Amino acid sequence: MRLVVVGLGQCGSRIADEFARMGKSASRHRGIQIISGIYAVNTDQADLTGLRTIKPDFHHRIIIGGGKTGGHGVGKINEVAAALAKWDGYKVIDAVRSGPRFFETDAFLLAAGAAGGTGSGALPIIIDSLKERFPEKPVYALIVLPFAHEESSEERCVYNTATCLKSAQSVADAVFLADNERFIKKDANLVNHMEKINHEIVKPFFDLLCSGEEQKRRHIGARTLDAGDIMETLDGWSSIGMGKSDLPLIRLPFERTRSFRKKAKETIRGFEALDQAISELSVSCNPRDAGKALYLVSAPAREMNVALVRELGESMKRMAEDAVLRNGDYPRQRGELTITVILSQLRDVSRIRGIYSTVTESAPLLKKRKQEAEERFKEMARISEDIPSLL
């Protein structure tokens, strides 16, 4: 599957930068093209300067609203970002359309942080513009949810998150949710930790995108999971995760290939990887709430067999019993067995429900505070009426 990736705002642009590194890795190590275009969009010039991999020209690093913000951002006011995206959104469309490999693209993926200003405001606007201009290509969103401490200390952060989620879900073909709190490590260096989180968010997409673009016969699975399978699976709220289990790099010549102990180990490794994939889903959810799901098994060809795939499928069906299930195998990895899982068409996500409830409950309080502030301002103005002015 080949994607055009557009990062919006600081968080989204850094995730797009991580996708750019992934695309280079796929090209260098596997000879596969999975990224047909990658762009970073922001109202803040300094944030765009901090990127490492996306090309530094103005076609790939795009400033919107520069005339109004002076290249210094929107100060977390996502309504302003939405207005600027409506005004300058044509820059993104023109950049995407002029990409040399654009017509090889299967879908768009737009990434943004829900709590900020530029990303949360511009995301639904740009999605809507792309769907209007390119109706034959699905548009997916990857939305990063805020840390718990951001929610508890910044009311604007929660408001931005709620409005971004509601708006994006109404226009995108599917929304991947990535919860920052799932990847946090309390004692980590801040800059390095954020880079690690972005890497962990992007990593599960690697095998998934590569499997359908593979060129070498020995790496083609018995059941290939390609772009059509992925697009048929993705719908509405979605979560993605990946798990792995280490395999022996060398087989001893006298090893018994038909040993019942070895057979048991193969199955255990498969279940270890699957359990890890479910526990490492990008957002906490119940697999029973999924209407669609897929899993991809990647390992050396000799480590994959019908029994393993069947048992993994039965386990997935028990966990997501109402889901339409798709699966594939990808004989590629060396020294490890990895399983990528997507749960889509989620009927309930507790994290989103909590954010919506918080904003709904706090709306009357925020309105009351605003009214009180306006009344105090008027009172101050009234008290000062009889004081002479020097102007």
pLDDT in tens, 160-183: 999 999 999 999 999 999 998 888
Tokens (6 digits) for 220 = 């083609």
Tokens (6 digits) for 339 = 């399983």
Residues in the chain, total? 391
Cβ(307)–Cβ(267) under 8 Å?
yes
According to the model, what pLDDT value does residue 239 have? Answer: 97
Q: Count CA atoms within 13 Å of residue 374 on its CB side.
A: 6
Beta strand 292-298 with 336-344: parallel, antiparallel or unpaired? antiparallel
Tokens (6 digits) for 391 = 């102007």
3-state SS track over 318-330? HHCCCCEEEEEEE
Which of 63-67, 69-73, 370-374 has the weakest average pLDDT? 370-374
pLDDT digits (tens, 9 = 90+) for 228-240: 999 999 999 999 9
Could you give the strand order of the β-sheet that contains 336-344, starting from the edge strand earlier in sequence?
A: 61-63, 35-42, 3-8, 107-113, 139-145, 174-179, 236-246, 336-344, 292-298, 324-330
Between 182 and 145, residue with greater pLDDT = 145
pLDDT digits (tens, 9 = 90+) for 257-296: 555 455 556 678 888 999 999 999 999 999 999 999 999 9
CA nearest to 123, candidates 115, 111, 134, 135 = 111
Would the pLDDT of 303 be above 60? Answer: yes
Rounded CA separation 169/120 (Å): 12
CA nearest to 5, candidates 142, 169, 204, 170 = 142
Q: State the CB neighbour count (10 A cutoff) for residue 371.
A: 10
Three-state DSSP at 112 gives strand
Would the pLDDT of 308 be above 60? Answer: yes
Beta strand 236-246 with 336-344: parallel, antiparallel or unpaired? antiparallel
User: Tokens 């270890």 belong to which residue?
Assistant: 272
Phi-psi sector, 278: left (phi>0), alpha (psi -120 to 50), beta: alpha
Between 69 and 242, residue with greater pLDDT = 242
Calculate the CA dihedral of residues 352, 122, 200, 52 and round it to 10 degrees.
Answer: -160
- Domains, in order of start, for the chain: 3-202 (3.40.50.1440), 217-344 (3.30.1330.20)
According to the model, what pLDDT value does residue 371 have? Answer: 77
- What pTM does this model have? 0.89
Q: State the CB neighbour count (10 A cutoff) for residue 379.
A: 10
Would the pLDDT of 5 be above 60? Answer: yes
According to the model, what pLDDT value does residue 260 have? Answer: 47
Rounded CA separation 340/268 (Å): 17
Q: What is the mean pLDDT of residues 183-190?
A: 59
Residue 296 DSSP symbol:
E
Between 224 and 267, residue with greater pLDDT = 224
Residue 7 DSSP symbol:
E
